């Protein structure tokens, strides 16, 4: 039986529809009259970190090669007759797909024919086609992609940092895997992963924009293939709280040195993860605030420039706060950050600065709800993280200065700090 309810936010003055479809799929729809476009995202809670799993009926856990989630995404985008780009081109839509550490998503955006495009999306994802020939063909394509990304300094500095943070967690492994790991991928393994993770009970469909919910459901009722919940179980290797090593440097032909300064924090899940993410985001924003004394001092000394930024990077079994940018003196940034956090732990945060940053972050969240693409992804991401679409707005409205100070004191610890630097070197003529 299909269950339908409306989710409302009194703070944002917005609402969306959640449907638990009889097929097992969770569907979110946000009707946005007056907008001309439509964004639809079909996602599964399956990413590069999910290499050990079992389903109901399996006698033991299955361990698969690194990079297989990304490999599977590539193969699903190509069916027996033609590729997804060709199908969407006929209807005037723009299609794409991506794999991250903990999810894989297939999407389209369009201004017309959204029902036809939704049909293409549902059929595309629900009809895998793997043969030895097309799997072997893809191996060379993905192998080239791995080589290209490994040559990108921005990619290297990030994964170097993760490898210094994590002892065992697969988040430290490139999303696409390695040339050695993808050589082990077979059609049988792809079907095993597909059958386990692409079960509709492990997936979510999010549609936003110039749509009518009943017309979206008409397509879903016709093309969704009901699935029995296989009780998917995912596990990760035990991970120590301590970092692997505090620093790593590598030389690459870059014009300016780039750095990632990351704090390894304790992971969280569900509502706890949401509260922690909001507090972490507030802390990071305050530490990179352009009006702060630390920022102005580093800027005045030429240690940082406008590229200096921060992000909260978290998922199943991992959580970190990362500061990054361009600088020939990353050591000074590490020293300044450590000193500033020490000062905050002694003196506390300025309430006026806290409220200013909080209001700014709140405004960003509200503006995103006036964007079709952002709305579709907010609904999907929230579901995959075990929360409701407007929970982040509620959590941000409730976060306090004391909670943010507590996060800084307990999580942004000097013994959990990693510095990753890509240093420029002369290019050989």
Measured between alpha carbons, how far is 245 from 165 in angstroms, rounded to an integer? 7
Closest to 276 (Cα-Cα) out of 395, 409, 100: 395
Give which of 381, 228, 276, 261 is closest to 332, Cα–Cα: 261
Residues in the chain: 429
Q: Is 108 exposed, middle or buried (0-12, 13-18, 19+ CB in 10 A)?
A: buried
Q: For residue 168, give the 3-state DSSP assignment.
A: coil
2-7 LR contacts (CB < 8 Å, sep 24+): 2/217, 7/388, 7/389, 7/390
> Which helix (H) or strand (E) is 378 found in, with range?
helix 372-384
- For residue 343, the SS3 value is helix
- The answer to whether residue 73 is catalytic is yes
110: β partners: 38
List of residues 6+ apart from 106 with CB closer than 8 A:
41, 42, 43, 73, 76, 77, 84, 95, 96, 97, 121, 124, 125
Instruction: Specify the residue for token string 């792809």.
Output: 190
Alpha helices in 11-81 (DSSP H): 68-76
Structure tokens at 74: 């590539």
Residue whose tokens read 């016709």: 222
Residue of 66, 73, 239, 385 marked active site: 73
Buried-state track 303-314, b at ≥16 Cβ within 10 A, e below 16: bbeeebebbbbb
Contacts of 353 (CB under 8 A, 6+ apart): 286, 289, 291, 292
| Longest distance between any two alpha carbons in the chain, whole Å | 68
The two three-digit tokens of residue 106, written as one number:
């297939």
Minimal CA–CA distance to 289: which of 180, 297, 390?
297
Residue 169 CA: distances (Å) to CA of 55, 101, 207, 317: 21, 11, 33, 8
Chain centre to alpha carbon of residue 65: 21
DSSP state of 307: T
Token pair recorded at residue 346: 């002694």
The tokens for 210 are: 């110039």
Other CB atoms closer than 10 Å to residue 356's CB: what's the count?
Answer: 15
Q: Annotated active-site positions, please?
A: 73
């Amino acid at each position: 039986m299909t269950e339908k309810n409306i989710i409302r936010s009194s703070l944002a003055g917005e609402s969306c529809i959640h449907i638990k479809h009889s097929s097992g799929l969770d569907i979110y729809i946000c009707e946005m009259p007056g907008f001309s476009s439509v964004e639809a995202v079909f996602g599964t809670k399956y990413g590069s970190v999910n290499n050990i799993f079992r389903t109901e009926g399996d006698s033991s856990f299955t361990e698969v090669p690194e990079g297989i989630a990304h490999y599977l995404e590539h193969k699903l985008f190509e069916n027996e007759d033609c590729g997804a780009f060709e199908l969407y081109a006929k209807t005037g839509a723009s299609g794409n797909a991506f794999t991250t550490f903990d999810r894989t998503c297939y999407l389209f955006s369009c201004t017309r024919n959204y029902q036809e495009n939704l049909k293409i999306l549902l059929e595309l994802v629900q009809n895998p086609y793997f043969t030895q020939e097309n799997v072997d063909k893809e191996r060379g394509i993905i192998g080239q992609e791995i080589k290209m990304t490994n040559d990108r300094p921005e990619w290297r500095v990030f994964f170097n940092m993760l490898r210094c943070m994590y002892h065992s967690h697969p988040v430290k492994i490139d999303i696409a895997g390695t040339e050695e790991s993808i050589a082990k991928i077979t059609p049988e393994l792809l079907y095993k992963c597909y059958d386990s993770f692409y079960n509709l009970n492990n997936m979510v469909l999010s549609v936003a924009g110039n749509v009518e919910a009943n017309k979206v459901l008409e397509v879903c009722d016709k093309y969704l293939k009901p699935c029995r919940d296989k009780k998917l179980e995912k596990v990760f290797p035990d991970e120590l709280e301590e970092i692997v090593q505090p620093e790593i440097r590598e030389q690459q032909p870059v014009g300016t040195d780039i750095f990632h300064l990351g704090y390894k924090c304790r992971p969280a899940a569900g509502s706890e993860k949401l509260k922690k993410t909001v507090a972490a985001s507030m802390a990071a924003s305050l530490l990179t605030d352009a009006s702060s004394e630390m920022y102005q001092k580093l800027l005045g000394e030429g240690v940082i420039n406008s590229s200096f930024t921060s992000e909260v990077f978290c998922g199943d079994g991992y959580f970190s706060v990362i500061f990054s940018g361009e600088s020939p003196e990353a050591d000074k940034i590490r020293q300044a950050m450590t000193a500033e956090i020490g000062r905050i732990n002694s003196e506390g945060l300025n309430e006026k600065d806290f409220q200013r940053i909080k209001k700014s972050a709140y405004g960003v969240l509200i503006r995103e709800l006036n964007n079709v693409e952002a709305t579709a992804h907010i609904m999907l991401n929230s579901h995959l993280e075990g929360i409701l679409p407007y929970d982040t707005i509620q959590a941000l409205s409730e976060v306090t200065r004391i909670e943010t100070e507590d996060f800084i004191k307990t999580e942004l610890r000097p013994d959990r700090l990693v510095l990753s630097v890509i240093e420029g070197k002369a290019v050989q003529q």
